[in-house]
Amino acid sequence: MNTEYSTLEKTPTPVGETKRNLWARPVILLMGGIALAVLLSWTLP
Cα torsion 14, 18, 24, 29 to 10°: value is 150
pTM of the entire predicted model: 0.45
Determine the pLDDT at residue 6. 47
Q: Which helix (H) or strand (E) holds 21?
A: helix 15-43
pLDDT digits (tens, 9 = 90+) for 1-45: 445 544 455 556 666 677 777 778 888 899 999 999 999 999 877
